[in-house]
Structure 1
Amino acid sequence: MNRQSTQAGKPSAKKDWQVWWQLLRPHTLTASFVPVLIGTALALPVTRIHIPLFAAMLIASILIQAATNMFNEYFDFKRGLDNEESVGIGGTIVRHGVSPRTVMTIAISFCAVAVLLGVYISMESSWWLAAIGSVCILVGYLYTGGPLPIAYTPLGEVVSGLFMGLGIILIAFFIQTGTVTVESVLISIPFAILIGAIMMSNNIRDREGDAENGRKTLAVLMGHSRAVRFLAGMFVVSYLWIIVLVLTEEASPWLLLVFLSAPQAIRAVRGFRGRLRNTEMMPAMILTAKVNTLFGLLLAAGLLLEYLARSI
């Protein structure tokens, strides 16, 4: 048990179930299941939905995201980056005395279950997905693990957007339809950008601490003001992308429902402006995650309404 252990090595201050729940970082898990909903909604006009495959994909995505969060918790602790005052962490190690080994064991167990689900998905669709799924798990580990963690470089936003946004949507679509279409790729892109926006907001919040610890995130390289403008640009591009798809008839006007999330995006950007302390920026970071969730759910709802409208 580590030096933060409490009485008899058991977590304190919170009930046990709350500590383990916090370890999952539940507020981040929407970024794993919302793209599955989008990919499945995209498949509705093409084929009848295979419910067991949908469920397996949903659970596997959540498990990999939760495991990635635990790898983050473990390696940031091992590198001395987390302490009791750290903002935006699960805190199970530094605040509640959970052993780092326990956190790593749970993360590996989650990955093992995700692999088993991946085997079932591959048996029902294509074994190519076994290789793709293995890469996704590896990237989840390398995001904060390994000699040069992805999260410590300017590539964090790009990698997270590609794998958690574009990748999950297209896999969810492929396992139902057996193919990937131009439409599925085009509709995936704005959501992928907003996944990257979550990472960007996190890095803006942690910019000063990251710089002190030698991280070279995009926010560190840009500085606060330019990083906030870049985040605003990510929001703008995501919404404009949907407008262009509708105007070019690549997507239904139902997808304009995503604009109901735009006020939250505006509030998120305003929440970062003029604020430099990470505690002051926490509400803006939470709003950015909410934008991603709401945008994604509205996108899936628009796809569903388009399908229903055509079916009548």
Structure 2
Amino acid sequence: MKERKHMKRYGFLWKREILLSVCILALGAMAAALTDEFLQFGNLVNILNNNAIYGILGVGMTLIMATGNIDISVGAQFAVSGICTAKLAVWLEEAGQDPLWLLVLAALGTGMVLGASNGLLVIFLRLPSVIVTLGTLSVIRGGLYLVTEGAWMTYLPRWYTSVSNISWMGIRLVTGVWFLVLVFMMVFFRFFKLGRVILAVGNNQEYAKRIGVFVPGVCFISFILWGAVIGIAAFFFVAQIGTIQPSAGNGYEMTLIAAVIIGGNKLNGGTFKALGTSIGILLLGLIGNILVLTKVPMYWQNLATGIVIISAIVVSMLADRGNQREI
């Protein structure tokens, strides 16, 4: 009884967002002690800006994993959306046109078509989404290299790349879009029926079917929404970098899945903690920033990041046990 009261009193300490925030503060304090550059305003803003693309994608990955699915073809879809957007931008420039809104629609449309394709394959093949998207990952990457012959898309029009220069107090537009996507998805899952239905499907598909939910339709819509998020991220990535290559987005899936798990979401679905995922993205970005500032060699950076990811997942498991005891 005493243990139960103790857990209720201090249960807030087990909340994933609180744990991750404490980790970020601790790392920040350590970094400030190691280098004076860390606390400079420009550096702190850069941490946000440099991780905004991951942040947008992280919110979308949280959405698709809430349904109980995992999409490991995200990087390939990201590359296709980016290349299609870049090619359209070049074509419009040659035609003397500069409709930025058309590029936004192209990025969104490409992402949604690819997302819908994955959704249909998962539904009709009735195979785990990991297996299906592993196949589409190979198909999309292979197709990209065949079509582009491995060439980079460069010399993009200024009216497109200048989007990346829009900022307020150093905070870029893409970072603001990350925040908007995060807020929209949190409101969507909290107040909209479809959001609650997605969570119901992720929790228990059989029960969802019994209460009248058309599970394949929910899965299909979720993949389309996920594709739209990928398209948004690709649009800003190309504008920011000013170029795009067929290998763009390679390895994104592992970082995103790790951030989703670190954020307190379950691998088998039924949870949507996009705020936790976003804080997890910031945690990983902070680690990379600290290692760069302290001039740690790249191979040590990868090792350190991997160790922190594993440690964070272990802490997440302990936190889940703490929450179960509280209940």
- Relative to the length of structure 2, the TM-score reads 0.31
TM-score (norm 1): 0.32
Which of the two has higher C-alpha Rg?
Answer: 2
